[in-house]
Structure formats: C-alpha cells, structure tokens
C-alpha cells in the first residue's frame, strides 16, 4: 500500500527544433509518473533525418521507467533515420545508470565534467 502523502515528482521540459536538430531540455526527475511527457516531447522534437539532443544535465533522478522511455525515444528516432544525443554530467547518477544499464552503448552519451 502506498503512503497517503506521496509527493508527485517534478518535471519541466523545454523543446524546440532548429534546422535539422531538435533540442529537449529536461529539469527535475524522470519516473513512471511522467515518462510519457518526456517520450512525447522527444518524439515531437525529432526531425526525420536529423538529430535530437536530450539534455539531462538538470535531471537529479531517473528510474527504470525513465531508462525504458529513453530507449523508446531511441527506437522512435531510428524509425525516422534520426540520431539521438544525450547530454549529462560526468559521474552523475543519471550518466552512471545509463552506463550500468548498457544504454550508453547504443546512445551517443556526451558528459560534461562534474562541476
């Protein structure tokens, strides 16, 4: 049974397309409650034959649903011949989870130095 006062996770997404590159900036936490919001934003910002950048540098938490959602984004991009680039902070829990699950081997994960 879930506790009565469970707080909803917070997620903000900004996205736009410039030329043949979609940019999706994600802030907050990605989990089962909001992963569809991420998948829909990435899908809408993925130009056929171009690329989409998913900026996760401001994401503090991602669960298995979020990892599965990123894999869905990758598969959707493949269907329209688009590349997926994931931006993260080196050594962050998000980047470590992408590496641990193997998703970093099939996505172009680019890490900024921890600041």
Structural domains for the chain? 13-112 (3.30.750.24)
How does pLDDT run across 46-90, given as a tens digit for each residue? 999 999 999 999 999 999 999 999 999 999 999 999 999 999 999
Question: Residue 112: its pLDDT value, please?
Answer: 83
Question: Residue 41: its pLDDT value, please?
Answer: 98
Tokens matching residue 82:
């688009």
Whether the model pTM is above 0.95: no
Kind and range of the H or E run holding 72 = helix 64-79
Mean pLDDT value across residues 98-114: 91
Beta strands, E only, the chain: 11-18, 21-30, 51-62, 83-89, 108-112
Q: 108-111, long-range: CB within 8 Å, 24+ apart, which pairs?
A: 108/83, 108/84, 110/85, 110/86, 111/87
How does pLDDT run across 3-54, given as a tens digit for each residue? 444 555 799 999 999 999 999 999 999 999 999 999 999 999 999 999 999 9
Mean pLDDT value across residues 84-110: 95
């Amino acid at each position: 049974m879930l506790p009565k006062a469970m707080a909803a996770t917070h997620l903000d997404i900004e996205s736009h397309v410039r030329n043949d590159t979609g940019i999706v900036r994600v802030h907050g936490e990605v989990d089962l409650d909001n992963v569809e919001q991420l998948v829909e934003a990435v899908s809408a910002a993925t130009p056929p034959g171009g690329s989409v950048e998913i900026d996760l540098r401001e994401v503090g938490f991602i669960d298995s649903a979020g990892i599965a959602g990123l894999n869905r984004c990758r598969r959707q991009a493949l269907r329209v011949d688009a590349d997926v680039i994931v931006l993260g902070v080196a050594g962050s829990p998000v980047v470590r989870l992408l590496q641990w699950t193997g998703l970093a081997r099939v996505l172009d994960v680019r890490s900024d130095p921890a600041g």
